[in-house]
A = this chain, B = another copy of it.
């Protein structure tokens, strides 16, 4: 213990200006103590224009393809082929030139329509037919980009009357195939509705179009000293409308709560063209049922969100980050409890990474590690507040306490923005690094904290017993890792594989879902259902809940034109 505590002790008792912060190498610079803003490198797509070939990952039951080296190898299989049991619903009409002509008249602008019915537009339409992971590929032949709520209303009313199925689409950064067509559904892409209408600097109420990019919105309010209450890797591409439609969780939920609390107002269009206008900019409004809540997390199956009012909090000028190693998951829980108690109002992230995940990241990256030696678990804690000195003092005190009580075994505190970025990269880099062996089976789940991590050794034991996990190429499975947002009981269970293997899948499923069901967990913490998890919702919801959900779907979308084949 004495040896392992050296580093953090040095950090905690040393002159702040000369702290050895990362990997034990003493810094020769005198780092001024100042407010630093978190900036984390993202492994997500920044925009649709970038090369769309990312480390292959899966979210749910389908294994990823190995990391491809050229875009051509990334071409997705048609969803209709991957899911042979899915059949096109014959109730839906086939698009005719008359339909297209009518819809073009509604939108007026030439650039607002990509028409694959009247002519060949293969390349132009592809990005709208396919998800960024190249796992899902639809056969849409018409993309509409309405420029106003009235246009969305006219389009939907026409589609509803003519039984033309549609897929609402934001930045198309989803992980479960929710934002691309399955067959020939019309894509209604919201990118042209991207204005920020107003921001009240006193109340923090931001009024904006659904097609605004999350990062643009966050930068906009940042300039006015505020923060968008949501942050996630895809922020450079995703739309706020898509975020709300999928009830995105992300990195700031621990601090700013869920979108059910921070969406103050909404405008949405129902399939029959009805405009639901609830653009309240106020925090308190108890005048009737809060219908907008149904659209938060409905994944475009009830209507299309066109405008939003978001409550933005004051932005913290000071951010501090620490990383520490622990001997057991039980100690990680104790550390989290202690962090909640001591850091309380400034705690903005508490992330868990197991030793295996960090070993795999190190294997890929090489170089020096933030902490000496290996630990069974690592936690990253971030504080955000209005006074850097105060926050640093609280963080120091917290680390001293958990060190002296032997809750943590070792730890470091970042001294500047670069070090913060470096520490975060050991958490944020996991997805990318473990994908490099070939592919990953990914499960994004919520499990009560006391049992959250147990699923990892259980799954590992099961794969080992089945003779599927080993160190040589003859075994499909490389290893099983667990990491995630501990502050939100949200675990990412990842199975790193060398190759796709039906046997691995059979050992994993339905075992994983049953395991989660037994603990009253959620099979989808934040990614949503989409196409990937449509058939698995029964593990997290009982039959009565499903019946009541279908009742709501039937109420708002009796013809079922909104995002068919998905969700529930």
Residues on A facing B (Cβ under 8 Å): 200-204, 225, 246-247, 249, 253, 257-258, 260-262, 274-291, 293-294, 296-298, 302, 314, 316, 333, 336-337, 340-346, 384-387, 390, 393-394, 446-450, 485, 488-490, 520-529, 533, 537, 540-542, 544-546, 548-549, 551-553, 555, 567-568
A522 to chain B, nearest CB (A): 4
For this complex, 5 residue pairs linking A to B, each with C-beta atoms less than 8 Å apart, are A276-B544, A282-B521, A291-B294, A316-B345, A390-B390
Provide the residues of chain B in CB contact with A548, threshold 8 Å. Answer: 274, 276, 291
Complex CA distance for A200 and B527, rounded to whole angstroms: 25
Complex CA distance for A567 and B249, rounded to whole angstroms: 33
- Contact yes or no, A246 B552, CB < 8 A: no
Provide the residues of chain B in CB contact with A341, threshold 8 Å. Answer: 225, 314, 386
Provide the residues of chain B in CB contact with A386, threshold 8 Å. Answer: 341-346, 394
- Contact yes or no, A288 B203, CB < 8 A: no
A206 to chain B, nearest CB (A): 14
Complex CA distance for A489 and B336, rounded to whole angstroms: 35
- Contact yes or no, B258 A568, CB < 8 A: no
Q: Which 5 pairs, one residue from A and one from B, show the smallest C-beta to C-beta distance?
A: A261-B261, A293-B293, A344-B386, A284-B525, A285-B522
Give me 14 other A-B pairs in contact (C-beta within 8 A), A260-B290, A279-B520 excluded.
A201-B337, A246-B286, A277-B544, A283-B490, A284-B490, A284-B522, A285-B525, A287-B522, A287-B523, A289-B552, A291-B548, A314-B345, A390-B393, A555-B555
Provide the residues of chain B in CB contact with A524, threshold 8 Å. Answer: 285-287
- Contact yes or no, B280 A522, CB < 8 A: yes
Complex CA distance for A311 and B259, rounded to whole angstroms: 15
Copies of this chain, tallied across the complex: 2
Closest to A270 in B: B548
- Contact yes or no, A314 B289, CB < 8 A: no
A262 to chain B, nearest CB (A): 7
- Contact yes or no, A297 B291, CB < 8 A: no
A393 to chain B, nearest CB (A): 7
Provide the residues of chain B in CB contact with A520, threshold 8 Å. Answer: 279-281
- Contact yes or no, B542 A277, CB < 8 A: yes
- Contact yes or no, B489 A537, CB < 8 A: no
Complex CA distance for A485 and B249, rounded to whole angstroms: 29
Complex CA distance for A525 and B287, rounded to whole angstroms: 8
**One of B225, B280, B284, B542 near A249 (C-beta < 8 A):** B284
Closest to A346 in B: B345
Provide the residues of chain B in CB contact with A450, threshold 8 Å. Answer: 200, 202
Which of A260, A450, A546 has the most C-beta atoms of chain B within 10 angstroms of its own C-beta? Answer: A260
Provide the residues of chain B in CB contact with A296, threshold 8 Å. Answer: 290, 293
Contact A290 B247, CB 8 Å, known A282-B525, A342-B386, A555-B551: yes
A400 to chain B, nearest CB (A): 14
Complex CA distance for A288 and B274, rounded to whole angstroms: 23
Provide the residues of chain B in CB contact with A385, threshold 8 Å. Answer: 344-345
Closest to A260 in B: B260
- Contact yes or no, A288 B529, CB < 8 A: yes
- Contact yes or no, B203 A286, CB < 8 A: no
- Contact yes or no, B293 A260, CB < 8 A: yes
- Contact yes or no, A446 B294, CB < 8 A: no
- Contact yes or no, A278 B333, CB < 8 A: no
Provide the residues of chain B in CB contact with A523, threshold 8 Å. Answer: 287
Provide the residues of chain B in CB contact with A247, threshold 8 Å. Answer: 286, 290
Provide the residues of chain B in CB contact with A258, threshold 8 Å. Answer: 261, 283-284
